[in-house]
């Protein structure tokens, strides 16, 4: 992974990659994320599609035409996308561990 | 009941605000073409309006997929104008924002700027006669450059404010 790709993922990208662990079209991604977060994260259409085309360009997800409707595109995460997502999970876990460590020692 | 209104906007955010004000009064825009708006009388506040500049032309596969997505999401496209699309959604079905984060808002402003800036610069260059116009100063070009400078400055300020926020929060 290039150095510039080591930063934090945006919340939109994080949830899109999570939703695309199984193939989904645009509206299904939006609904999936909304359900998972109990409506806290509602991806704007412009935000969602901007992120999708960037992620396709980066090779983190792939797009192919939907079987039922050729105007629709199905997206799914790639191996590269999975490794980026895994690295992000490790980063987030580290943040949590550090926060708990400091806050825990404060209370003692 | 229908109503036709002629109006010219150079700032899409002002235009969007006006369409929503009209909708709040029960006048819902159903068509637009070059400064001509068609409104239909309905329930006040029934629709929320949004305007967006697409990255690609309307027939591009990415645009086609996006328009299909909007349809799936219950968003109606009432008009298109070059790469601009005019959208509305029933207000009762929840809030309607095209962009849910800072980055994508900035990207949208940048897209508009990259369309407006070259036109403004060309008009300015012709306007002040740098390319050897017959007249030393071409007032029409200069006026066009000045008119375009208004939204460009407004978008620029909004982008700067968004970028400043980004130091603290995503």
Burial label, A75 (beta-carbon count in 10 A; 0-12, 13-18, 19+)? buried
Nearest to B97 among A11, A44, A50 (CB): A44
B69's tokens: 């997505």
Q: What is the pLDDT of residue A3?
A: 44
On average, the pLDDT of chain B sits at 92
Inspect the interface and report whether the beta carbons of A71 and B100 lie closer than 8 Å. Answer: no
| Percent of chain B surpassing pLDDT 70 | 95
pLDDT over threshold 60, residue A5: no
Nearest to B100 among A8, A42, A69 (CB): A42
**Whole-prediction pTM value?**
0.89
Q: Is B149 in a helix, a strand, or coil?
A: helix
Q: What is the 3-state secondary structure (H, E, C) of A42-73?
A: CCCHHHHHHHHHHHHHHCCEEEEECCCCCCCE
Count of CB pairs separated by less than 8 Å, A with B: 69
Please compute the mean of the pLDDT values over residues B132-140 and round it to a whole number.
70
Inspect the interface and report whether the beta carbons of B55 and A45 lie closer than 8 Å. Answer: no
Inspect the interface and report whether the beta carbons of B66 and A8 lie closer than 8 Å. Answer: no
Q: In chain B, whose CA is at the least distance from the CA of A69?
A: B68
Q: In chain A, whose CA is at the least distance from the CA of B169?
A: A10
Q: Place A69 in a pLDDT band, splitting at 50, 70 and 90.
A: confident
Q: In chain B, whose CA is at the least distance from the CA of A53?
A: B62
Inspect the interface and report whether the beta carbons of B66 and A43 lie closer than 8 Å. Answer: no
| pLDDT tens-place string over residues B35-93 | 999 999 999 999 999 999 999 999 998 899 999 999 999 999 999 999 999 999 999 99
pLDDT over threshold 80, residue B131: no
Report the alpha-carbon distance of residue A14 to residue B165 in Å, rounded: 20
Contacts of B75 in chain A (CB under 8 A): 45
Please compute the mean of the pLDDT values over residues B19-27 and round it to a whole number.
98
Please compute the mean of the pLDDT values over residues B160-167 and round it to a whole number.
87
B27's tokens: 């006048």
Inspect the interface and report whether the beta carbons of A72 and B68 lie closer than 8 Å. Answer: yes
- Rounded to the nearest angstrom, the minimum Cα separation between B65 and chain A is 5
Nearest to B100 among A8, A44, A53 (CB): A44
Q: Which residues contact A42 (CB under 8 A, 6 or more apart)?
A: A30, A33, A34, B94, B95, B97, B100
Task: Find residue B79's DSSP bridge partners.
Answer: B86
Q: What is the pLDDT of residue A78?
A: 97
Q: Is B48 in a helix, a strand, or coil?
A: strand
Residue matched to tokens 């002629």: B6
Of the candidates B18, B2, B7, B11, the residue with the CA atom closest to the CA atom of residue B156: B11
The secondary element (H helix, E strand) that includes residue A103 is: helix A79-107
Radius of gyration in angstroms for the set of CA atoms belonging to chain B, rounded to a whole number: 18
| pLDDT tens-place string over residues A7-25 | 899 999 999 999 999 999 9
């Amino acid at each position: 992974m290039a150095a510039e790709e080591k930063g934090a993922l945006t919340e939109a990208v994080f949830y899109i990659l999570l939703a695309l662990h199984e193939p989904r079209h645009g509206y299904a991604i939006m609904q999936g994320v909304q359900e998972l977060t109990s409506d806290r994260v509602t991806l704007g259409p412009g935000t969602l599609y901007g992120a999708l085309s960037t992620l396709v360009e980066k090779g983190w997800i792939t797009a192919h035409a939907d079987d039922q409707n050729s105007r629709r595109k199905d997206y799914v995460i790639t191996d590269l996308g999975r490794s980026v997502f895994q690295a992000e999970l490790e980063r987030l876990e580290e943040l949590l561990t550090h926060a708990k460590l400091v806050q825990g020692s404060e209370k003692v | 009941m229908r109503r036709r209104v002629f109006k010219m906007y150079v700032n899409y955010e002002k235009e969007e605000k006006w369409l929503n004000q009209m909708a709040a009064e029960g006048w819902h825009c159903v068509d637009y073409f070059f400064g001509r708006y068609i409104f239909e009388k309905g329930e006040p506040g029934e629709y929320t309006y949004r305007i967006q500049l697409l990255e690609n032309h309307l027939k591009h596969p990415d645009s086609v997929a996006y328009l299909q997505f909007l349809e799936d999401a219950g968003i109606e496209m009432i008009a298109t104008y070059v790469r601009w699309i005019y959208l509305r959604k029933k207000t009762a079905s929840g809030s309607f924002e095209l962009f849910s984060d800072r980055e994508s808002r900035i990207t949208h402003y940048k897209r508009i700027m990259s369309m407006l800036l070259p036109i403004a610069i060309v008009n300015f260059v012709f306007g002040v006669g740098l390319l050897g116009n017959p007249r030393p100063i071409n007032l029409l070009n200069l006026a066009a450059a000045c008119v375009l400078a208004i939204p460009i400055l407004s978008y620029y300020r909004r982008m700067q404010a968004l970028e400043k926020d980004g130091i603290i929060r995503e």
